[in-house]
């Protein structure tokens, strides 16, 4: 199974959408293996947005992302990175697909409710910024038996 990191951003926290957003991933069958509320500071955001840290617009991103705490979640499931990105929808709320988080709940291009890891390479980097090693949990659920075939659970799915 694959992991992916999701951040519920300040605009979603302010709009009380935390439960709604979490339920989208639960309903799809993803397993929550880590969760915490964290206040992102400028050094952390410079690590997170390393490619933009020296850009003139970085302060706007930093102000938005440090406005309130965010909810950091690590989800586990088959093809997690790609499927979670489909669940959240394209970046701009007004362009995002109906049925996606951003398509159903968002209108903004910048205040877009959630972040999800965009690649398998970034998953580990992003998780390490927000979580300590012991904060990611390994456990089995009965739901896994219902959602995934034996091949998918064993990693032999092609």
pLDDT for 149? 76
What confidence tier does 142 reach under pLDDT thresholds 50, 70, 90? confident
Contact 52, 61 (CB under 8 A): yes
pLDDT for 59? 93
Does residue 1 have a pLDDT over 70? Answer: yes
What confidence tier does 126 reach under pLDDT thresholds 50, 70, 90? very high
Residue 11 corresponds to which tokens in the numbers above?
């605009």
Q: Long-range pairs for 146-150 at CB < 8 Å and ≥24 separation? A: 146/29, 147/29, 147/77, 148/29, 148/77, 148/78
Question: What span, in angstroms and rounded, lies between the C-alpha atoms of 156 and 158?
Answer: 6
**How confident is the model over 150-155, as a mean pLDDT?**
71
pLDDT tens for each residue of 16-29? 999 999 999 999 99
The torsion angles phi and psi of 77, rounded to 5 degrees, stand at 175, 175
Q: Which residues are catalytic?
A: 115
- The model carries a pTM of 0.91
The torsion angles phi and psi of 76, rounded to 5 degrees, stand at -125, 140
* Helices vs. strands in the chain: H and E counts, helices first: 9, 4
pLDDT tens for each residue of 62-79? 999 999 999 999 999 999
pLDDT tens for each residue of 45-62? 999 999 999 999 999 999
- The class level of CATH for 2-153 reads alpha beta
Residue 133 corresponds to which tokens in the numbers above?
């090693």
Angle between helices 18-28 and 80-88 (to 10 degrees): 130
**How confident is the model over 8-12, as a mean pLDDT?**
97
Question: What span, in angstroms and rounded, lies between the C-alpha atoms of 56 and 68?
Answer: 22
**How confident is the model over 87-114, as a mean pLDDT?**
93
Distances (CA, A) of 156 to 78, 150, 151: 11, 8, 5
């Amino acid at each position: 199974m694959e992991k992916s990191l999701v951040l519920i951003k300040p605009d979603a926290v302010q709009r009380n959408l935390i439960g709604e957003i979490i339920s989208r991933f639960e309903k799809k069958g993803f397993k929550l293996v880590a969760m915490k509320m964290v206040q992102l500071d400028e050094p952390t955001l410079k690590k997170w947005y390393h490619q933009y840290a020296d850009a003139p617009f970085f302060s706007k991103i930093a102000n938005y992302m440090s406005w309130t705490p965010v909810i950091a979640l690590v989800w586990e499931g088959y093809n997690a990175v790609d499927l979670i990105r489909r669940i959240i929808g394209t970046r701009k709320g007004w362009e995002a697909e109906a049925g996606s988080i951003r398509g159903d709940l968002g209108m903004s291009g910048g205040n877009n409710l959630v972040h999800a890891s965009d690649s398998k390479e970034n998953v580990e980097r992003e998780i390490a910024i927000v979580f300590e090693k012991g904060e990611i949990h390994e456990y089995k659920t009965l739901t896994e038996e219902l959602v995934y075939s034996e091949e998918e659970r064993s990693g032999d799915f092609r």
